[in-house]
Structure 1
């Protein structure tokens, strides 16, 4: 068990805190001393106002995906950015949860051509498979359109 790094404290030190900005070394404090340390922490220490604003804007831009997908945290596989319907549609197409839309489109075209009832007139299940593939693609296409409008 690690002891708090604050001099004279015998509590467990289970709260890591950086020793200085952009430094991988960490202090390990108890909960009370971690709160005290964080009150005085300045993430933008050493930066002028313009550099601090640029860093904040850059980090807000790159972490937007986390806030957007936060409500999918309870879901199963994937990174949480896809709904349950999208995951089912990906299963129908036989793709992984992190498939790009270009891969989705290419897979859909191949499966639609292979299972089209006009191409397989003697296969009674071809129409059903074709409809499943079409429905899966429509779900994924609509989700991609929604994501692209949210990004803009």
Structure 2
């Protein structure tokens, strides 16, 4: 049987551009009923299951907002699972000592130690002392109280940065996973 047209896909160079295929590209639609957006975000149907839903970005965000990792477990099972998760991630906490430096019990990082030096505090100072020193030094070195003094402005920036470092470290210490 004779062909009516000649293909341009043979030989070199290809006469048609790469990626200019004529086949339709398959697109998975969002699994949410009534949504016609592409379903590009996989989400598990249940914990520890290989089955997945495929949602669009909007419905994936909605699904994740309501996701409960401990759903269907009683208090004891949820506590056991949380304990197992903490145990499995214990290697990361054991390696955290490489980030610490300076004197003291090793509970402060090198950045925190430098921040305490800027504020003129001892390595074992608590956060109440940090807050008090920050307020005093910020008031003394503020650009509004020392107009046209570039050194005071630089000291003020260093004091602010030091306080932010110490405040975020304190927040990390106070945060406890549920």
TM-score normalised by the chain length of structure 2: 0.44
Change (3 A) 1:106 1:151: farther
* 2:127 paired residue among 88, 101, 121: 101
For residues 79-122 of structure 1, the C-alpha deviation after alignment (integer angstroms, 9 at most, x for no partner) is: 10000110010011011110000000000000000000000114
Deviations 1:34-59 (A, max 9, x none): xxxxxxxxxxxxxxxxxxxxxxxxxx
Richer in helix (by share) = 1
Query: What CA distance in whole angstroms lies between the structure 1 residues aligned with 2:177 and 2:126?
Result: 16
Instruction: Choose 1 or 2 for highest CA Rg.
Output: 2
Unmatched 5+ stretches in structure 2: 1-92
3-state secondary structure, aligned to 2:103: coil
Shift >3 Å, 4+ stretches = 67-70
List gaps (5 residues or longer) in structure 1.
1-66
Superposition CA RMSD, Å:
2.4
For residue 109 of structure 2, what is the aligned residue in structure 1?
Answer: 83
Question: Which structure ranks higher in relative contact order (CA pairs < 8 Å, sequence separation ≥ 6)?
Answer: 1
Q: Which residue of 2 aligns with 1:113?
A: 139
SS at match of 1:97: coil
The total of aligned residue pairs comes to 86
